[in-house]
Chain A
Amino acid sequence: MKKNVFFFIVSAAPVLPVLSLFSFGILFVLEFSLLFLVLTGARKITRDCGLSSALVLPVEITVLLVAAAFFSGFLRLVLPVPSVLLEFHVFAAAFSYLLFDRILHRAGNGGHSSDEYPPVLAGFVFLSAYSLLREVLYFGTISVPIFNGVVFLPVLPEQALVFTRFWGSFSGSLILTGLVIWLLNFLGVRSASPHPSV
């Protein structure tokens, strides 16, 4: 699980700067779910078609880009302002997902590939937790996407943000993520796992 989260952080690096709101995290979880379904389906079809291995990667990239374009259109219709803010990152997420998938394949990952749920779920948990933490610490709110907009629920008083704002910024959140990973290793979660963790 920890290893999967680490791989996910590395491959999701292009989308991390925009994960400033919990609602953006939810949108990326939705997008990654769509990409997971599409890529799994595309793999099965290319296998059934007996496509040559040289063509598999171009087909996968095309299918993921079409899926990202579909999601971008959906966002523009349902959440116009977030779609302007996330514009290029919606497409960057497709490449992030493919990279995550390739890293998992290369690493072996104990027989797992991203065609199976656990590695993808680890990424989803990270996306949600990271965006939630950043929003609460920087803005003191929790945002939830609704049709045609986003609802912001204040959870921290303005005065508290003076102390927490740095940890909610992009640079602060990366430091915090590193500290959490180190702490998890330090507390001995590592020994609970049969596989060596990163």
Chain B
Amino acid sequence: MTRNDTGDMMKFRVLLLASVLLVAGLSFLMNYFGDRKTEAVVKAQAEEIVAHSSPSVFAGGIRPAVRDRIRARGIGARYGFVFSASAPGGGEESGALLFAVPIMDNCGPILSVFYFSPESGTAFLGTCFAPSQARTDFRAAGGAGEESGNPAHPGPEISPGILRNWTDRIGKAAESVWKGGFPR
């Protein structure tokens, strides 16, 4: 190999490394901005589910407002979208939380919204992005708080056993969130 060949190879390797770093940087930026967009979309979906839920599910019998996202650490990567929730006019210190969690059942993954408050415990509110919601002959996924749904039947997407399991898990996760004070 001549000196010229070695130089060309070095240039090629440097160029290659620069390209890989460029793609990695681009991926980082896309994930950063994508995460902000995803947060806004998931929050909007959670707000819609809260708006369709029966007020009796919520602490104090008032539908809460969905507030800021909480970046809770140490409760598991599944709980990436946790929002604080409080009655209009109330502060975040009410302790209510909204969880948007992808639940895997026999039908596949379904994004489900749960409400937790220290007074009323954990309640399943409904699902986002479920095909059954697109059908004209099926009203909604029918969460426990769904006004026109059947509280005992969470819809075709999630089986009652899986739902019970997740309700317990989210109750425990919510307690962990509150153990170390309110995360910001």
Interface residues of A (CB under 8 A from B): 17-21, 24, 45, 48-50, 62-63, 66-67, 69-70, 72-77, 80-88, 134-135, 138-141, 143, 150, 152, 154, 157-158, 161, 165, 168-171
Contact = CB atoms under 8 A, between A and B. Distances in A.
A139 B131 contact: yes
Contacts of A165: 156
Interface residues on chain B, size class: 35 or more
B27 A66 contact: yes
Given A69-B24, A80-B37, A154-B135, A74 B108 contact: no
A169 B27 contact: no
Interface in B114-135: 128-129, 131-132, 134-135
A81 B156 contact: no
Contact of A74 (B30, B42, B104): B30
Dominant secondary structure at the A interface: helix
A45 B135 CA distance: 50
A170 B105 CA distance: 8
Contacts of B93: none
Given A49-B13, A170-B107, A83 B131 contact: no
Contacts of B30: 70, 73-74, 76-77
A152 B131 contact: yes
Contacts of A135: 131
Given A73-B29, A76-B35, 11 more contacts: A19-B108, A66-B27, A69-B31, A73-B31, A75-B34, A76-B38, A84-B111, A85-B129, A158-B138, A165-B156, A171-B106
Given A76-B37, A139-B131, A139-B132, A49 B27 contact: no
A86 B108 contact: no
Given A84-B102, A143-B131, A20 B107 contact: yes
A76 to B, nearest CB: 3
